[in-house]
């Protein structure tokens, strides 16, 4: 793989009442992963664009916004305006993923596509060149702290093969159950970008946890 590993801690596992302080606890993070849930596409409700905008004001780290919402095309511009570095939306939530991706890229924002565990890679491999990031969910989206689903790595391998075949710079991200015990297998399968929530914020020293994840991903 050509990319150095990126560790993107998910603030879903942070203390929402102290986000400024929580972000300061992870100086080694490469990105900040912002989980947006609408209570409809997934059975949980979290934060929206106003909170993403507030986060952008207190950190220089790129915001990796993951929209687990219905009708993402209606809302993506709000996250660009909020200061997102990249906006990832679900393939299952739109009939026009390429159109949304092009709108994001036209505004200078990274475009990401994500698929749930039950969604096959087939049909989306052909549009990989339209995206800056592909996110494979290794748990059912909606809640943090779930167990890693190793059979999702077959999708990772399929996307890695296509990205490499086309010689693209598209990053391959994984989200769900990533820990020091699972990140190595994800790296071996072809991931280069890792979302970790409870593995970081559940640790006594979140920043040391990030460094351990990066070490395990690099060794792999």
Judge whether 153 and 186 are in contact, CB under 8 Å. Answer: yes
Catalytic residue among 35, 64, 78, 192: 35
Catalytic residue among 78, 132, 175, 192: 175
Give the C-alpha separation, 141 to 88, whole Å. Answer: 13
Angle at alpha carbon of residue 214, lines to 212 and 219, rounded to 5°: 95
Give the C-alpha separation, 87 to 89, whole Å. Answer: 7
- Show the tokens assigned to 116: 């749930």
Query: Which candidate, 106, 61, 99, places its Cα nearest to that of 80?
Result: 106
3-state secondary structure 77-95: HHHHHHCCCEEEEEHHHCC
Query: Which candidate, 193, 172, 142, places its Cα nearest to that of 4?
Result: 193
Give the C-alpha separation, 181 to 209, whole Å. Answer: 12
175 counts as catalytic: yes
List residues with catalytic annotation.
35, 175
């Amino acid at each position: 793989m050509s990319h150095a590993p990126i560790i993107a801690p998910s603030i879903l596992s942070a203390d929402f009442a102290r986000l400024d302080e929580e972000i300061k606890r992870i100086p080694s993070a490469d990105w900040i992963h912002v989980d947006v849930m609408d209570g409809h596409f997934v059975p949980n409700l979290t934060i929206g664009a106003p909170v993403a905008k507030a986060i952008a004001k207190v950190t220089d780290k790129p915001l990796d916004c993951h929209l687990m919402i219905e009708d993402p095309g209606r809302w993506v511009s709000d996250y660009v305006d909020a200061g997102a570095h990249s906006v990832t939306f679900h393939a299952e939530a739109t009939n026009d993923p390429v159109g949304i991706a092009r709108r994001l890229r036209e505004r200078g924002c990274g475009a990401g596509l994500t698929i749930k565990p039950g969604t096959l890679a087939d049909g989306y491999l052909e549009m990989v060149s339209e995206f800056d990031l592909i996110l494979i969910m290794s748990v059912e989206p909606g809640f943090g702290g779930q167990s890693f689903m190793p059979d999702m790595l077959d999708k990772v391998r399929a996307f890695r093969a296509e990205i490499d075949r086309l010689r693209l710079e598209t990053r391959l991200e994984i989200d769900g159950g990533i820990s020091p015990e699972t990140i190595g297998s994800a790296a071996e399968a072809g991931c280069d970008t890792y979302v970790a929530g409870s593995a970081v914020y559940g640790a006594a020293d979140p920043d040391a946890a990030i460094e351990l994840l990066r070490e395990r991903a690099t060794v792999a």
